[in-house]
Amino acid sequence: MMEPHKTSTHLKRWITGLTALPLLIYFITLGGAVFAGLVAAASIFGLWEYFRIVLDDADQAFFDPICLTGYIAAAVLIGYGAMCKPGHIPAIVALDFVVVAVYAVFRFSSDQTVVLRVARQVQGIVYVPLLLSLLVLLRNRPDGMTWIFILLAIIFAGDTSAYYVGSYLGRNKLAPAVSPGKTVEGALGGLAANLLVGTAAKLLFLPPGDWLLSCAGFVLFGAAGQAGDLFESALKRLSSIKDSSAILPGHGGILDRIDALLLAAPVAYFWIEYVL
């Protein structure tokens, strides 16, 4: 039985999710620059929330030149993804590091923490916009729209199932040092939902054949999503905060909503592009 405050939060989650769903479907269906713009906005907001989590002074997320450079790099990364130029993406990450490293050299004499901020910024670039750029590359495939919808459905189903199964049947803690609320039973329920939704999508929308590889992929997408959820929880636990921000009622911040997708996206891209 869920506590009253959890029930209220859960209701807010559903209202926010159902309100945003038509817009999400619209952007995915249009694809192209419209979808890339949505991903770019999510990247920049997510990166801002990440900086607020990992930096000692939250104001630095707005004004620190290292963070500002990160926002520019995020937009450029998504832009190259939209132009189907994946070969440029590693170069943008490298160039971002060069710029902030040079800045750190000249800033070090007055602020030795600048080196740590550089490390955290580069991690943030890889963690948020680089991983999300793979969604844009995936959407640009001829069957990309179908795969984006399937991936989101798998992640959503797994997250929802893990929440309910964990709430009602959870007994054994999955990673108590990171997220005390997560249970082994919830994780298994999530993976079962991943497989169920993926199998239904395979029957309805994907070509026949490759059943073993497809089903393995659905489970891997879900497992990566759970790892993404736990990784963001670890980041927040280090900073002793509950939500990355309060932008989305019932969900917290953008990063709280896409944490599973961040790690699932590269797994899905690799599996679809190179295995299937």
pLDDT by position in tens, the chain (length 276): 445 555 566 666 667 667 878 999 999 999 999 999 999 999 999 999 999 999 988 778 888 999 999 999 999 999 999 998 888 999 999 999 999 999 999 999 999 999 999 999 999 999 999 999 999 999 999 999 999 999 999 999 999 999 999 999 999 999 999 999 999 999 999 999 999 999 999 999 999 989 999 999 999 999 999 999 999 999 999 888 888 887 776 567 899 999 999 999 999 999 999 998
Q: Is 274 helix (H, G, I), strand (E, B) or coil?
A: helix
- The string over 163-175, giving b where at least 16 C-beta atoms fall within 10 Å of a residue's C-beta and e elsewhere, is bbbbbeebeeebb
Beta bridge mates, 238:
none
CA dist 1 and 226 (Å) reads 23
- Going by C-alpha positions, the residue among 84, 97, 85 that lies closest to residue 125 is 97
Question: In this structure, is residue 5 part of a structural domain?
Answer: no
Q: What is the pTM of this model?
A: 0.91
Question: In this structure, is residue 123 part of a structural domain?
Answer: yes
Q: What are phi and psi of 140, to 5 degrees?
A: -75, -10
Q: Which of 119, 140, 161 is the last residue of a domain?
A: 140
List helix spans (H) across 2-143.
Answer: 4-30, 32-54, 60-63, 65-82, 89-107, 114-125, 131-139
**Structural domain that includes position 75:** 31-140
Both 69 and 101 in one domain: the answer is yes
Rg (CA), the chain: 19
Question: In this structure, is residue 258 part of a structural domain?
Answer: yes
CA dist 90 and 79 (Å) reads 13
pLDDT tens profile 73-123: 999 999 999 998 888 999 999 999 999 999 999 999 999 999 999 999 999
Question: In this structure, is residue 247 part of a structural domain?
Answer: yes
**CB distance 266 to 131 below 8 Å:** yes
State the pLDDT at residue 252: 77
Both 183 and 246 in one domain: the answer is yes
State the pLDDT at residue 247: 77
Q: Which of 140, 156, 177 is the last residue of a domain?
A: 140
Both 122 and 154 in one domain: the answer is no
